[in-house]
Structure 1
Amino acid sequence: MEMKPGYKRTEVGVIPEDWETFRLGDISEVSAGGTPSRANPSYWNGDIPWVTTSEVDFCTISSATQSITAEGLKNSAAKLFSPSTLLMALYGQGKTRGKVAVLGIEAATNQACAAISLHSTDSHKFLFHYLVGQYESIRSLSNNGNQENLNSSLVRSICVPYPKPREQCAITTALSDMDALLDGLNRLIAKKRAIKQASMQQLLIGQTRLPGFSGEWVTQKLGNDAILKARIGWQGLTTAEYLDDGDYFLVAGTDFLNGRIDWRNCHFVTQHRYSQDPFIQVRPRDVLVTKDGTIGKVALIDAMEKPAALNSGVFVIRPKADKFVPEFFYFLLASKVFEEFLAQLSAGSTINHLYQKDFVGFAYQIPPTTEEQTAIAEVLSDMDDEITALETRRAKTRALKQAMMQELLTGRTRLVAPSANTADKAESQTEGRKANVYFLRSVLAAEIIDQLHDQPTFGHVKFEKMMFLAEHLCQVDTGSTYHRKAAGPYDNRALRSIDSQLQKQQWFEPRKQDGRYQYMPLAKRGGHKPYFERHFSGIGETLEKILSTFKTAKTEQCEIVATLLAAWSDLLREHEAVSDEMIVHEVLHNWHEAKQRIPEDRWLMALGWMREKGLVPKGATLP
């Protein structure tokens, strides 16, 4: 087949010539998580969300059902992953393997999740949609052992198309709009179902009466007022007699779908088997109930394309002498009234069969007139019709989104016209390759640690102060949120994330020695340098000045300067002019009470020293 001009054949198929292809391992770090020991309670129920494959379901994960502590993270293979990380289920129950999700929060995962930490987070939405569309082909990559599992190596080998950033953005916007529409439909359907359930509860027990009706409801018993039939033993029908095509449907409990029969799913039987028992030949307005397997499922026959009979697992119910309206009785059996009857039969145990001798004892109340029964059934049927229409619309929307994915994610349909001008190239080189802010935070951290890790005064606390000073004095946003803790500006969550990223990259590892944490070089120490030079070249001189100034300083000196800088910055947001006395008052009275251990004159002296060194926040006046 001749290829369309402007396209090329690649490992992922035919794509536009200006698109690239990469393996996930080339554009991301792929790793798995871990599970802290369940035997140690101190590892669990902390403030770190811990995601399992049951939550990886083509979605954005904004919370987790389980959580672990910092100790659990530290003493296990679990790692902390930043928002925008893609997760893929390596194995799990049923259809779990190959499903993907995107982290909307910072979280750890178990070992069954592959975490795909992209070097450019601008691409995570596009790649998420692409991997969703490749679900079946990804599942086929599974190894051929006793269990069909994926692994990190297989995930790294997955090849993906890579349009320019502007086109990625246009594609993800279009697909995200479809997701928003589907989400709205899901919520509307859930709301309509809840309204219908509440209406059934009120209308089917007489708690609410429709206008124009009155009179006491009457109590009836199924055995007195209905004909109850099923295929009996001597008519034993084997699965070998089930046909894939024919003129006579065979209805089984597995064919029940949303209160009706899914005729497309039915098997067929011969004319002889159909004619064998007229009592189980299905008619319009018959009410059917399953008696084997999942007992108590209910369906109403509203239309038939061909004659149909029942298999041995289904009852058919017909009223005697118009004792009830079948449509009303169908809704009654689909309500809590029948659920409670079945619950009484089971008496807390599991029942696998609904016996006719028990079923005929089902007692219920109904309106005194068929007109009221019909009116109630019509109200509930209208609600069903509305829900069915919404479900049909949702199915069409899903099909439309699937078609859009096929077109947009392969470049067959272009939302952005191909262009080779300078602006597009610049956009590709800058916006398209922006690095993950959390990854960049670890790059900055690695540079600080690389220069200071061999100093006897350097540990976790001093490192945190150096990060704070570097971010604020160099005006770098790394996504950290510092708190007014006893040891000064402190972000424990960011610190854990940095430690995890440093270990993942094999640059440094924090180890507790002689009562404090120190950073030990790992095999790939220095691997951060190319990233630092690319993204932080503009702050190199300022950072060098900060690190040389505090290289041999004690931790408390660093704490004093970082605290003063933070308080000073806070005050400048509210006041045009800030005095040294205002800054020290802010520290001693509005920060942690532990700050009061340091004398006031020492704080004032430190402020003078900071002005001399130029270590002041933006907008502050120098001497």
Structure 2
Amino acid sequence: MIETKFKDTEVGRIPEDWDLDRLRDCFEFKPNNTFSRDTLSKSGEIQNVHYGDVLIKYGLHLDAQKDLIPYVANPNYKAQDCISDGDVIVADTAEDETVGKATEVINVRKKKIVSGLHTMWLHPIVGKRYALGYLGYAFNASVYHNQLLPLMQGTKVTSVSKSAIKDTFILVPPIAEQQRIAKALSDIDLLIMQLDKLIEKKRAIKQGAMQQLLTGKKRLKGFSKPWGEKKLGEIADIYQPQTISQAEFTDYGYMVYGANGVIGKYNQFNHITDQVLVTCRGNTCGIVNMSIGKCWITGNAMVINLDGNKAMDKVFVYYLLSFLDLTTLITGSGQPQIVRFSILNYEITFPSTVQEQSAIASVFTAMDNEISALAAKKAKYEHVKQGMMQQLLTGKIRLVETTVKTNITSTNVHFRRSVLAAEIADQLCEEPTFGHVKMEKMLFLTERLCHIDIGSHYHRDAAGPYDNCALRSIDSQLKKQKWFEVRRTEKGYRYVPMQNCGKHKTYFDKYFSAVLPTFEKIIDTFKTQNTERCEIVATLYSAWEDLLDSNKPFTDADIVNEVLNNWHESKKRISKERWLKAIQWMRENDFAPNFRNK
């Protein structure tokens, strides 16, 4: 990332070496069809991109090999032309300001795909080069979407015309920089997608555990007493509170829970605390929730008050009712509702001891906490992605080389290195495996895998790769900034937070946001790994890249030989088989070097 000179354009200041492409001059607007959703099918020969899918289902890139694209049901339909890799599909109609949402089509291969109802199909004209993957980001950047806002027409349904959109502009860096921007943003997209999959996996695991533990099919260790059966009215005080209208909401006070969670605040005093709730009216009828802390409940929910029953764990009851299907209690031909009588007489089966109830509740609470932490991490990455798009797609931050350069002054290099170390310490300081040696390995792997220059010079020491001078400088800087103090303990050196801990993050975002996905992958992978495991990977990486730098052919056995015979005697304490397995692991997990970091 480097400083750059800017020029004034129709869309604001952009880098001097960037182009501003007017759509009518650079894209062919190909004809779309007008097939509605009900004329599409799940099979056929020609696939059809519908505007509703562009708005909701597809991301900034439509992967033709992975995403579900409906087919034209009419067997007599013949496409005059089909979508190519790098074509952009824009939704020209929506019910809000998402109109103009675009998706770039990739991985078309031999598929026949056309653009459907309420879409614009943009195909780059001959002679215009755009890096595959770049346009999906460029057409969804705020600098582009802001051009569409004054062009939107309509109230309930909003649209933008083809003639208007033809006079909008996209920012176009040099082709190599487009590739680097697309790579940086796709890396964080991949990380977000992986978190999505992990969250879904954890939810599925939780659902399976509920099926086992909340039915008694599986018992936790130490519990064997038989389960009992009672009506909810026999174990809880069940009532429907007085409705609080929105007109009564205040700017302060206790949270008000409605059918879908918190809906406002109310400042009176007859509140309740930590209660199980069942929505009893409306489209969400039968949904179970649990209020947190002091709060109010509107008349749309039924309170299952267990405060007077010491034989029942209310968190367990929350999970049990969440698992059961309370929609079977719904009555009413008009608005769905659940009456109090139905809930009072609803029978549940549960452990006879509160200890077993609490143990089961603790299992699900831990699962929910893990899912919430993953969801928070995903939200963080989504926020980071938006910041990266704003910076990279306007040229405020430039990715012009494979290495993220630091300033030439040694002071700046040392400070940036300390900022990176502070972030590593901030994420790992509570781990029992983290100390001086592991810090050095994390710095090395971050520098190599993120392709950043932090001014270190690593040596083939016993615990190497190692730069003792750089580590002493980092320790001094961390203490000077009052971020962390390094203290020697019985278990080695530890990083102890100081009063300014966390204040490095502004600098970290400034210097290293472009490599955050790779950095987080390194942290997540090695967070709980012991120091020796980190040493193995770092040592192999260093030896491996040295052999790559020699421009001579070599095998995995040659890498291990380099470690065992041309490094330090201490490396021989680790078996050859373990080194070889680690090499395979590095390949499978994308931790292998592919070029020398100059």
What TM bracket, shorter-length normalisation?
A: 0.5 to 0.7
Equivalent residue, structure 2, for 1:129: 137
Q: How far apart are the structure 1 equivalents of 2:73 and 2:301?
A: 52
- Cα gap change, 1:413 to 1:96, in 2 (>3 Å): closer
2:201 maps to a residue whose letter is K
Partner residue, 1:60: 62
CA distance in 2, matches of 1:38, 1:210: 50
Give per-residue Cα distances to partners, 1:398-452, cap 9 Å, x unaligned: 111111111110101111169xxxxxxxxxxxxxxxxxxxxxxxxxxxxxxxxxx
1:152 alignment counterpart: 162
More displaced 10-residue stretch of structure 1: 125-134 or 393-402: 125-134
Which deviations, in whole Å up to 9, do the C-alpha atoms of 1:35-60 show, x marking residues without a partner?
3599999x995211112123213232
Identity within the alignment, %? 30
Structure-2 separation of matches of 1:351 and 1:324: 33
Q: Does 1:251 align with 2:251?
A: no
Q: CA deviation at 1:72?
A: 4.0
Matched residue count: 384
Cα 1:87/1:5, change in 2 over 3 Å: closer
Which residue is 2:202 aligned to?
192
Partner of 2:279: 290
Aligned to 2:123: 117
> How far apart are the structure 2 equivalents of 1:70 and 1:354?
46
Provide closer, same or farther for how the CA distance between residues 32 and 61 of structure 1 changes in structure 2, counting only shifts above 3 A: farther
1:36 and 1:73 in contact (8 A); partners too: no
Closer/same/farther in 2, CA of residues 174 and 330 from structure 1, 3 Å limit:
same
Residue 241 of structure 2 contacts residue 303 of structure 2 at CA under 8 Å; is this kept in 1?
no
Inter-partner Cα distance in structure 1 for 2:181 and 2:135 = 11
Structure 1's 297 and 34: CA in aligned 2 closer, same or farther, altered over 3 A? same
Q: In structure 1, what is the Cα distance between the partners aligned to 2:206 and 2:224?
A: 22
The question of whether the paired residues in 2 share the 8 Å contact of 1:289 and 1:315 is answered with yes
CA contact (8 A) 2:92 2:120 kept: yes
Task: Give the direction of change, closer, same or farther, for the CA distance of 1:334–1:136 in structure 2 (3 Å limit).
Answer: farther
The residue type equivalent to 1:133 in the other structure is A
Please tell me the residue identity of whatever aligns with 1:389. Answer: A
Classify 1:310/1:96 alpha carbon distance in 2 versus 1 (closer, same or farther; 3 Å): same
Q: How has the CA–CA distance of structure 1 residues 64 and 156 changed in structure 2, closer, same or farther, with 3 Å as cutoff?
A: farther
Could you list the per-position Cα deviations for residues 516-573 of structure 1 after superposition, in whole angstroms to 9, with x for gaps in the alignment?
xxxxxxxxxxxxxxxxxxxxxxxxxxxxxxxxxxxxxxxxxxxxxxxxxxxxxxxxxx
- Offset, 1:226: 0.5
Alignment deviations for residues 228-265 of structure 1 (CA, whole Å, 9 cap, x no partner): 12224xxx54322222x1233333223x2xxxxx5xxx
Relative to the length of structure 1, the TM-score reads: 0.57
In the other structure, the counterpart of 1:267 is 264
CA-CA distance at 1:145 after TM superposition: 4.2
Question: Contact (CA 8 Å) 2:90, 2:120: kept in 1 or not?
Answer: yes
Note the 1:171-210 alignment, pairs <5 A. 171-210=181-220
Q: Is the 8 A contact 2:51 2:117 kept in 1?
A: no
Q: 1:366 to 1:136 in 2, by over 3 A?
A: farther
Contact 1:292 1:352 in 2 (8 A): yes
CA distance in structure 1 between the partners assigned to 2:124 and 2:132 by the alignment: 7
Secondary structure in structure 2 of the residue aligned to 1:9: strand
Contact 2:238 2:305 in 1 (8 A): yes
Counterpart of 1:324 (choices 312, 324, 330) is 312
**Could you tell me which residue of structure 1 aligns to residue 24 of structure 2?**
25
How many angstroms apart in 1 are the aligned matches of 2:343 and 2:298? 18
Does residue 390 of the first structure (1) align with residue 374 of the second (2)? yes
Cα separation, 1, equivalents of 2:204 and 2:280: 27
Deviation at 1:393, TM superposition (A): 0.7
Task: Note closer, same or farther for the CA distance 1:37–1:158 as it changes in structure 2 (3 Å cut).
Answer: closer
Shift of 1:185: 0.7
Aligned to 1:342: 327
- The yes-or-no answer on 1:239 pairing with 2:246 is yes
Distance (whole Å) between structure 2 residues aligned to residue 380 and residue 21 of structure 1: 53
The offset of 1:61, in angstroms, is 3.6
Whether the aligned pair in 2 keeps the contact of 1:98 and 1:138 (CA below 8 Å) is no
Aligned residues of 1:226 and 1:323 also touching (Cα < 8 A): no
Alpha-carbon separation, structure 2, partners of 1:312 and 1:382: 31
Pair 1:38–1:140, CA change in 2 (3 A): closer
Secondary structure at the residue paired with 1:175?
Answer: helix
CA contact (8 A) 1:20 1:162 kept: yes
1:110-160 CA-to-partner distances (Å, cap 9, x unmatched) read 131111111346334222102222375365244434642123223322211
- The Cα of 1:12 is off from its aligned counterpart by 2.2
State the 1:28 CA deviation: 1.0
**1:49 matched to which residue of 2?**
47
Return the offset for 1:66.
2.3
The answer (yes or no) to whether the contact 1:49–1:64 under 8 Å persists in 2 is: no
Q: Residue type of the partner of 2:82?
A: L
What aligned pairs does 1:205-604 form with structure 2 within 5 A after superposition?
205-232=215-242, 237-243=244-250, 245-254=251-260, 256=261, 266-271=263-268, 274-275=269-270, 281-284=271-274, 286-293=275-282, 294-302=284-292, 304=293, 307-319=294-306, 320-335=308-323, 337=324, 339=325, 341-343=326-328, 345-346=330-331, 352-416=336-400
**Matching residue's letter, 1:171:** I
**Which of the two has higher C-alpha Rg?**
1
1:154-212 per-position Cα deviation (integer Å, ceiling 9, x unaligned): 33222111111111111111111111111111111111111111111111111111111
The one-letter code matched in structure 2 to 1:33 is N
Aligned counterparts of 1:64 and 1:121: Cα–Cα separation in 2: 28
1:140 corresponds to which of 139, 143, 149: 149
8 Å contact 1:22–1:159 — kept in the other structure?
Answer: yes
Distance 2:42 2:300 in 1: 47
1:267 alignment partner AA: G
| 8 A contact 2:286–2:330 mirrored in 1 | no
Deviation at 1:287, TM superposition (A): 1.1
Q: Distance in 1 between matches of 2:226 and 2:122?
A: 65
What is the letter of the counterpart of residue 211 of structure 1?
Answer: K
Q: Structure 1 counterpart of 2:287, which letter?
A: K
The separation in 2 between residues aligned to 1:204 and 1:85, in whole angstroms, is: 51
Gaps of 5+ in 1: 257-261, 276-280, 419-623
Counterpart residue identity of residue 282, structure 1: I
**Cα 1:44–1:80, aligned 2, differ >3 Å: closer, same or farther?**
farther
- 1:91 and 1:143 map into 2 onto residues whose CA distance is 9
For residues 596-615 of structure 1, what are the structure 2 equivalents within 5 Å?
none
SS at match of 1:329: helix
Separation in 2, partners of 1:103, 1:346: 47
CA–CA separation in structure 2 for the residues paired with 1:21 and 1:130:
12
The CA distance in 1 between the partners of 2:38 and 2:208, in whole Å, is 44
Pick closer, same or farther for the CA change 1:127–1:103 going to 2, 3 Å: closer
- Structure with greater proportional helix content: 1
1:360 positional shift = 1.1
Rounded Cα–Cα distance in structure 2 between residues aligned with 1:69 and 1:354: 43
